[in-house]
Amino acid sequence: MNSILIIDDDDQLRNSFKKLLAEEGYKVESAASGEAGLNIVKNESLDLVILDIRLPGMNGIETFKKIHGIEPKLPVIIMTAYGTTETAIETTKLGAFDYILKPFDIPDMLELIRLALNASRFMRSPVGIDTIPEEFSRDAIVGRSTEMQEIYKAIGRVSPTDASVLIRGESGTGKELVARAIYQHSLRAEKPFLVINCVAIPETLLESELFGYEKGAFTGATHRRVGKIEQAHEGTVFLDEIGDMPINLQAKILRLLQEKSIERLGGREKIGTDVRIIAATNRDLEEAISAGRFREDLYCRLKVVTIWLPPLRERQSDIPVLADYFLSRFSAEKGISNPGITGEAKAIFSKHPWPGNVRELANTIQKALIFNRGAPLSSEEIAQVKNEKSHTVDSTDDNGDALLRQWLRKELATRSGENLFDSCMDSIASLMISEALNICEGNRSRAAKLLGLSRPTMHSKIEKYRLKFETLVKEDN
């Protein structure tokens, strides 16, 4: 369970915040002053601090500096009211994760918390290389094939240099894991690691997210904002899915690599920035260059150190090893004993082409374990999980699709108005969540994993749709 410390002298805010975050499934500590907060930072293991900038006694910025000195990788979100925004901006320059203006909307705050916790996990949870961790809760790069041995050597060679690295390979081959391993073994391991997913953020936002902006740079830019690259000064920036980065931003990244400086949007000043770039993509960059979607000069600059992750089907000997690893890991996460796997099922695994690579293998085992009752995973169980997928697709195409359309037509015929779309989407989302909860016997964490949602998002959706399950109390941690 993630543990969050709130430092704010406002009793009411602290208490309501505490309640809200506890409902979201977080463990919450609180302190009314910087001094008390620091004590908790020294003595407890925390994943995130939310800090008010205006505090009696030791002020927020001093408190931040001390926390950052003790635990440089502990993310800190600064809360600020109008009038103290400049200080909050300064604090982000010193390494605070981000700041949020008071009063804030709860969903915005929860989203920021989710992002910060994710960043924290990336920086602080070590990726094991070719060593299966004993407690299975950690990420590890598993595989003994000669292809993977080459990857481990490459990680070892490039990590301690400051060279930019380009990681390529099909979806699900482990590019993100490799990026984290390089960072963790680099000379910058004690400095920040910031992840930017170039497809997940809309183009206009991506630019301000990366480079920041000056007050008045565009309508709505009421304050200066420090971008992620500037914030990662002396650290590492992971540009995930770089093949999808808009072309005008590619020019700016190239300039950063050549001149080691950036300019904020609407700013004239060049800001010297020392960051190491690690980039990843599953796109065919050569084809993107011919199509004019990717700059050749950036490609040439990035490709000097390229790590190619081979698809799983080209390193068949890793499949049984990975299958054993995921079985142990997911059983441990579920708190059950590892049922093992029959030889026949392993043989089926080894022959499967795994177009979704390691991610698909992990998902298959995770789903098979949901229905398993303790006997070794059999080929029938595997077939069931695999068929179920195609079965669901088929039934959606014929039957399910027809039923859904019928219902939608009825809604469209009998209702109209502004939120018809949202309310239909809500009905579907609510059904999906309640089905997932049914499959997972009311266990929210497992249902969240099944749906690919974070636990806090799952919790807020259960609240939103007021889903009631007698078994909802059965949490797994």
Ligand X SMILES: Nc1ncnc2c1ncn2[C@@H]1O[C@H](COP(=O)(O)OP(=O)(O)OP(=O)(O)O)[C@@H](O)[C@H]1O
Q: Choose the binding region for Mg ion from 176-184, 298-306, 313-321, 370-378 (rule: CB under 5 A).
A: 176-184
Residue 359 binding ligand X, by CB under 6 A: yes
# chain residues binding ligand X, by CB under 6 A: 18
Question: Which residues sit opposite 52 in a β-bridge?
Answer: 79
Provide the minimum distance between the beta carbon of 404 and ligand X in the complex, in angstroms, as a whole number: 28
Q: Compare residues 172 and 227 and give the one whose CB is closer to ligand X.
A: 172
Choosing from 14, 68, 168, 175, the residue that interacts with ligand X (CB under 6 A) is 175
Q: Least distance (Å) from ligand X to the CB of residue 313?
A: 14
Instruction: Retrieve residue 161's tokens.
Output: 């240099």
Measured in Å, how far apart are the chain's first and last C-alpha atoms?
7
Q: How far is the CB of 102 from ligand X (least distance, A)?
A: 35
The answer to the question of residue 142 lying near ligand X (CB under 6 A) is yes
Residue nearest ligand X, CB atom distance: 174
Cα–Cα dist 229/262, whole Å: 8
Residue 451 CA to residue 454 CA, distance in Å, equals: 9
Q: Which residues contact 17 (CB under 8 A, 6 or more apart)?
A: 6, 8, 28, 30, 50
311 contact choice in ligand X, Mg ion, none (CB below 5 to 8 Å, kind-dependent): none
Distance of CA 301 to the CA centre of its chain: 27
409-438: contacts with Mg ion (CB under 5 A)? none
Under the binding rule (CB under 6 A), the answer on residue 139 touching ligand X is yes
Q: What part of residues 430-449 is at the interface with ligand X (CB under 6 A)? A: none
Q: What angle do CA 79, 84, 90 make, to 5 degrees?
A: 80
Letter string b/e over residues 366-404, b meaning 16 or more CB atoms within 10 A of that residue's CB: bbbbbebeeebbbbebbeebbeeeeeeeeeeeeeeeeee
- 176 lines the binding site for Mg ion (CB under 5 A): yes
Q: Which of the listed partners (ligand X, Mg ion, none) does 173 bind, with a CB threshold of 5 to 8 Å by partner kind?
A: ligand X
User: Minimum distance between the CB of residue 297 and ligand X, rounded to whole angstroms?
Assistant: 24
Q: Taking CB under 6 A as the criterion, which residues in 254-293 touch ligand X? A: 282
24 binds, among Mg ion, ligand X, none (CB under 5 to 8 A by kind): none
Least separation in angstroms between residue 240's CB and Mg ion is 5
Nearer to ligand X among residue 167 and residue 298 (C-beta): 167
Write out the E strands in 251-296.
261-262, 271-272, 276-281
Binding ligand X by CB under 6 A: which of 117, 177, 232, 262?
Answer: 177
Total site size for Mg ion, rule CB under 5 A: 2
> Which range touches Mg ion (CB under 5 A), out of 124-132, 174-182, 311-319, 467-475?
174-182
Cα separation, 217 vs 8, whole angstroms: 32
- Tell me how far apart the alpha carbons of residues 159 and 184 are, in angstroms, rounded to a whole number: 8
Nearest-approach distance from CB 210 to Mg ion, in angstroms: 18
| Range in contact with ligand X (rule: CB under 6 A) among 31-39, 141-149, 250-258, 345-353 | 141-149
Residues 6+ apart with CB under 8 A from 388: 367
Tokens of 397: 């195409």
**Residue 410 backbone zone (phi > 0: left; psi -120 to 50: alpha; other: beta):** alpha
* Binds ligand X by CB under 6 A, chosen from 25, 34, 169, 310: 169
User: CA of 10: how far to CAs of 6, 7, 15, 108, 211, in Å?
Assistant: 11, 9, 9, 20, 34
79: number of Cβ within 10 Å: 25
Residue 25 near ligand X by CB under 6 A: no
Q: Residue 249: name its binding partner from ligand X, Mg ion, none (Cβ under 5 to 8 Å by kind).
A: none
Query: Of 45-53, 96-104, 356-364, 365-373, which part binds ligand X (CB under 6 A)?
Result: 356-364
**Residue 170 C-beta: closest distance to ligand X, Å:** 7
Q: Cβ closer to ligand X: 19 or 144? A: 144
Binding window for ligand X (CB under 6 A); candidates: 29-37, 173-181, 376-384, 441-449: 173-181
Cβ atoms 80, 56 nearer than 8 A: no
**Amino acid (one-letter) located at 110:** L
* Helix/strand/coil for 67: helix
What is the DSSP secondary-structure string of 288-342? HHHTTSS-HHHHHHHTTSEEEEPPGGG-TTHHHHHHHHHHHHHHHHHTS----B-
Min dist. Cβ of residue 323 to ligand X (A): 11
Least spacing, CB of residue 133 vs ligand X, in Å: 11
Binding partner at 181 among Mg ion, ligand X, none, C-beta below 5 to 8 Å by kind: none
In Å, what is the CA distance from 303 to each residue of 7, 62, 70, 116, 281? 45, 42, 37, 30, 12
Q: Which does 177 bind (CB under 5 to 8 A by kind): Mg ion, ligand X, none?
A: ligand X
DSSP state of 398: I
Residue 362 as a binder of ligand X (CB under 6 A): the answer is yes
Residues within the interface to ligand X (CB under 6 A): 139-143, 169, 171-177, 282, 322, 358-359, 362
Residues within the interface to Mg ion (CB under 5 A): 175-176
